[in-house]
């Protein structure tokens, strides 16, 4: 009998391999790439996603996502591409949310046509925006909530119901929320995908991805993954296991710090607008309360037009202007110079991304120190 445990307990204990030999406190690391085959039904091999340390991650992530099973990949994009290709073939159509992570957007734009897979992007984030794009040959619907970089929300349950109505496989990029703040399978989503490079690892030192869902669907992704490769190495699984032990603890602090920073920034006259689902002023705050257990560590804000966002970032002393997100350290990024640099200023404006928009990954430093750094940099450029 499995007893339903709390998140912290699950993060720490779920799936751990008992060290029978020495009684050590950790899952032993098994680096073997060769396992027996005689009279063995499920032959173990790293690319088959079934080595002992891979299964630790599968067990832990599945438990956190309230899923039957999960798979560890070598990157978020490996998890995303393998999941999509597992359910899409030539002649099929897929509906994507219009606000998508840059890498996912490139995958679709640059690869799908080569494989004869059709796609549409929703015009907005209302359910009708998605339903309008569904065609005869649509097989998959794919969302990302909260989205990057504006932290917009999509109604997870409504999307899951729409998918059921039209017999589609529903997928979500759950990276920004983490399984601590959001468990999309509880709302009926089929596959929940993460860039584990972000919160699941949390220390800016692991590249990984995961997919979680019903065993039957995850198995389809697994068979596609055996052909494509992209499995996570055992050593990285060992490190990721260590990271996930503190996931719930870290996320609670990320939530607290980001909420504090969002509130402080909202009352700062040098900041024009703050995007954070936890703020009552956020357009999706009610939805956030319905589908999220916490509002997350990510926020964005517009600096007043009179200020120079680039110089502001150079004046920061502790907060690092760096790519990526979700580490223990606070990092900041200017989408107009990075993820959205290839768009024209007009295209950016149409997506609501001003040139003075900054996306902030609020870390685990003392929240007063985070704010102090922002305030001294703002004073410096005023």
**DSSP three-state, residue 213:** strand
Site residues for ligand PLP per CB under 6 A: 75-77, 101, 103-104, 144, 148, 173, 175-176, 195, 197-198, 207, 209
At its nearest, how many Å lie between ligand PLP and the CB of residue 82?
12
Cβ nearer to ligand PLP, comparing 182 with 197: 197
Q: Say which residue the tokens 């640059």 belong to.
A: 110
Select from 186, 127, 149 the least CA-distant residue to 141.
127
Instruction: Work out the burial of residue 216: count CB atoms within 10 Å of its CB; fewer than 13 is exposed, 13-18 middle, 19 or more buried.
Output: exposed
Would you mind telling me the total number of residues written for the chain in this entry? 382
At its nearest, how many Å lie between ligand PLP and the CB of residue 202?
13
Cβ nearer to ligand PLP, comparing 166 with 203: 203
Asked whether the beta carbons of 208 and 74 are under 8 A apart, the reply is: yes
CB neighbour list of residue 254: distance below 8 Å, 6 or more residues apart? 199, 296, 297, 326, 362, 363, 364
Cβ nearer to ligand PLP, comparing 148 with 182: 148
Residues annotated as catalytic are: 47, 101, 173, 198
**DSSP three-state, residue 164:** helix
**Residue at shortest CB range from ligand PLP:** 76
At its nearest, how many Å lie between ligand PLP and the CB of residue 211?
12
Instruction: Work out the burial of residue 4: count CB atoms within 10 Å of its CB; fewer than 13 is exposed, 13-18 middle, 19 or more buried.
Output: exposed
At its nearest, how many Å lie between ligand PLP and the CB of residue 74?
8
Cβ nearer to ligand PLP, comparing 236 with 316: 236
Cβ nearer to ligand PLP, comparing 53 with 201: 201
At its nearest, how many Å lie between ligand PLP and the CB of residue 276?
16
Select from 292, 294, 358, 297 the least CA-distant residue to 328.
297
Helices (H), 30-73: 52-64
Rounded distance, CA 185 to CA 187, Å?
Answer: 5
């Amino acid at each position: 009998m499995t007893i339903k445990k709390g998140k912290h307990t699950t993060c720490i204990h779920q799936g751990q391999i008992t060290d029978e030999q020495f009684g050590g406190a950790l899952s032993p690391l098994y680096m073997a790439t060769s396992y027996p085959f005689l009279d063995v039904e499920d032959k173990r091999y790293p690319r088959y996603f079934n080595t002992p340390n891979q299964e630790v991650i599968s067990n832990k992530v599945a438990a956190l996502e309230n899923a039957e099973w999960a798979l560890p990949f070598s990157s978020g994009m490996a998890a995303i591409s393998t999941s999509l290709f597992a359910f899409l073939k030539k002649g099929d159509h897929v509906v994507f949310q219009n606000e998508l992570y840059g890498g996912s957007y490139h995958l679709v734009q640059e690869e799908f046509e080569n494989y004869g897979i059709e796609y549409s992007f929703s015009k907005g984030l209302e359910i009708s925006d998605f339903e309008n794009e569904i065609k005869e040959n649509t097989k998959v619907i794919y969302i990302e909530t909260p989205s990057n970089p504006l932290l917009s929300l999509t109604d997870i349950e409504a999307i899951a119901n729409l998918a059921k109505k039209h017999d589609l496989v529903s997928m979500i990029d759950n990276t920004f929320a983490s399984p601590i703040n959001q468990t999309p399978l509880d709302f009926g989503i089929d596959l929940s995908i993460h860039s584990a490079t972000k919160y699941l690892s949390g220390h800016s030192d692991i590249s990984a991805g995961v997919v979680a869902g019903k065993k039957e669907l995850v198995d389809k992704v697994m068979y596609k993954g055996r052909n494509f490769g992209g499995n996570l190495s055992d050593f990285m699984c060992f490190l990721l296991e260590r990271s996930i032990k503190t996931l719930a603890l870290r996320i609670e602090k990320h939530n607290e710090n980001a909420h504090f920073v969002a509130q402080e920034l909202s009352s700062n006259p040098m900041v024009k607008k703050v995007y954070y689902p936890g703020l009552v002023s956020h357009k999706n705050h009610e939805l956030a309360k319905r589908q999220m257990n916490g509002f997350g560590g990510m926020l964005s804000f517009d600096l007043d037009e009179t200020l120079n966002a680039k110089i502001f970032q150079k004046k920061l002393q502790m907060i690092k202007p760096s790519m990526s997100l979700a580490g223990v350290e606070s990092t900041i990024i200017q989408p107009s110079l990075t993820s959205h640099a290839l768009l024209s200023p007009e295209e950016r404006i149409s997506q609501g991304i001003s040139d003075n928009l900054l996306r902030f990954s609020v870390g685990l430093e003392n929240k007063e120190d985070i704010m102090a750094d922002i305030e001294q940099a703002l004073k410096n450029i005023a």
